[in-house]
Amino acid sequence: MAAKEQVSNMFDTILVLDFGSQYSHLITRRLREFNIYAEMLPCTQKISELGWTPKGVILSGGPYSVYAEGAPHVDHAIFDLNVPILGICYGMQELAWINGKQVGRGEKREYGPATLKVIDDSNPLFKGMNDSTVWMSHGDKLHGLPTGYKTIATSDNSPYCGIVHETKPIYGIQFHPEVTHSTQGKTLLKNFAVSLCHAKQNWTMENFIDTEINRIRKLVGPTAEVIGAVSGGVDSTVASKLMTEAIGDRFHAILVDNGVLRLNEAANVKKTLVEGLGINLMVVDASEEFLSKLKGVTDPEKKRKIIGNTFIHVFEREAEKIKPKDGKEIQFLLQGTLYPDVIESISFKGPSQTIKTHHNVGGLLENMKLKLIEPLRELFKDEVRHLGELLGIPHDLVWRHPFPGPGIAIRVLGEVTKEQVEIARKADNIYIEEIKKAGLYNQISQAFACLLPVKSVGVMGDQRTYDQVIALRAIETTDFMTADWFPFEHSFLKKVASRIVNEVDGVARVTYDITSKPPATVEWE
């Protein structure tokens, strides 16, 4: 991507250099909440290779000790940018290390809350703040002031809890303002970005739409064409709508019906995307092809691989049928990559480890010689949802729960057949319908029904039945890394169970999954 086409060249941007702290991405997150664009890059980033000029630089925390051999260090060119710098925890220790090396092991590790005592409340970094609770997480500390710095805040265990350079806007703080436990942390980050860096607070999705549409137009040019897969989920729909706004029918969306989508999904997606949103969509019914490949397969990993590979095969075959108006080949592939995937691939994993690249695109790029276009690459999920609302995407779709790529195939345990998929689909549909009716959909992060291929005895209308089991799952989570099951009212579960057994042939029993993650995963396979 040409440097001038980066979002960081279109909005005032704060550069966050990541030293590997588990909280680094939260710094970016918080700044975006004040409508300030921030981008995270590994601490090894060479400033000369940046391609844009930040309004300010934040050095994150990190698990290393600055004095240890092999510890990561920042490119000293950040000081030549002449913009404000804020070092957080390891970031502050790094500033001290560069200016006199007064860093060592503390007598006491400090993990958890501490009280920040502001010494110099006229300092713009502390504007509107008073003594407050801050979150600490460190074992090393400053044993003295770095050369040319003075103290502006202390805490019981950290005499140099806040420092600033005597003449330059270079700050260090020992605590983590980016975590919510630091009660006034947001104010501090905002002070840094707005009062000290003078970053414009214009990072809004309204502004993003315009700049992104322009960026896509420049990138694609006046005649080239783009393809992309849609799934019925929020990310691919928002990305497709944005492409359509930018280049109209030169964008071709493909929905592959793999036979394991939700009940009536292909038809519903077609209606919403084509009629509602004007997206140039082709629906390919490949359900027989997928189901025949899944025949006799019970291993979850094999199912996932078959579906992934068949998808690539079908997508490529159908893409070949599209004949661009300029007589050339399709040149771009749209991908709904989000910022957390990017963060995952660039976050600093240690000096000896190579940084992982992300593999969101499967084999499509190599095979098809396509260039990648990722309009949501800079956005967090909630920003994508906001963007979706602004682009007129229906509320229900914008707030839809995530759905796995292998779909119902991994929610039908054991062999996947058309009949089994039908049972799982119907049960799932009833369950989700009731969740929506009860007004619980938005409180739950993900809910679905699974079909367990075990037979169980029942009695219906005085007749003995011998049928399968449906397991219901509903979880609450913020990041899907850990999750807890949702505490439904008994009356709700009673109603759903009775509807499923009565309305879905082949089901004799319904159970509710009360396992958290870990030890269980969200999906059953």
Per CB under 6 A, residues contacting ligand GLN are 21, 61-65, 89-90, 137-140
Nearer to ligand GLN by C-beta: 18 or 525? Answer: 18
Reduced to 3 states (helix: H, G, I; strand: E, B; else coil), residue 317 is helix
Instruction: Give every CB contact of residue 99 below 8 A, 6+ residues apart in sequence.
Output: 146, 147, 148, 149
Active-site position among 178, 212, 289, 383: 178
- CB of residue 116 vs ligand GLN: minimum separation in angstroms? 16
Nearer to ligand GLN, 160 or 485 (CB): 160
233 among the known binding-site residues? Answer: yes
User: In the complex, what is the shortest distance from the CB of residue 194 to ligand GLN, in angstroms, rounded to a whole number?
Assistant: 24
In three state form, how does the secondary structure of 400-438 look? CCCCCCCHHHHCECCCCCHHHHHHHHHHHHHHHHHHHHC
* Active site (annotated) includes residue 176: yes
**Alpha-carbon separation of residue 260 from 266, 409, 411, 471 (angstroms):** 10, 6, 9, 18
Amino acid, single-letter form, for residue 504:
V
Q: Minimum Å distance from CB 244 to ligand GLN?
A: 44
C-beta of 103 vs 261, nearer to ligand GLN: 103
Catalytic residue among 176, 225, 265, 378: 176
Task: Establish whether 392 is an annotated binding residue.
Answer: no
CA dist list (Å): 209 to 216, 249, 400: 10, 18, 22
Between 139 and 453, CB nearer to ligand GLN: 139
The response to whether 260 counts as a known ligand-binding position is no
Residue 352 structure tokens:
């000896």
Neighbour tally for 89: CB within 10 Å: 25
Query: Any known ligand binding at 234?
Result: yes
Q: Contact 480/445 with Cβ under 8 angstroms? A: yes
Is residue 231 marked as binding?
Answer: yes
Nearest to 236 by CA among 96, 97, 337: 337
**Residue number with the shortest CB distance to ligand GLN?**
61
Q: Which of 39, 43, 89, 265 is catalytic?
A: 89
Q: How far apart are CA 170 and CA 85, in angstroms?
A: 5
Q: Which is nearer to ligand GLN, 89 or 501 (CB)?
A: 89
Q: Which is nearer to ligand GLN, 91 or 259 (CB)?
A: 91
- Is 237 marked as binding a ligand? yes
Pairing mode, strands 507-512 and 484-485: unpaired
Question: Minimum CB separation from ligand GLN for residue 343, in Å?
Answer: 17
Note the maximum CA span of the chain. Answer: 88
Nearest-approach distance from CB 132 to ligand GLN, in angstroms = 19
CB of 120 to ligand GLN, least distance (A): 23
Active site (annotated) includes residue 89: yes
- Known catalytic membership, residue 401: no
12 is in an annotated binding site: no
Rounded Cα distance between 443 and 398, Å, is: 15
Which residues are identified as catalytic?
89, 176, 178
Q: Which segments are annotated as binding site?
A: 231-237
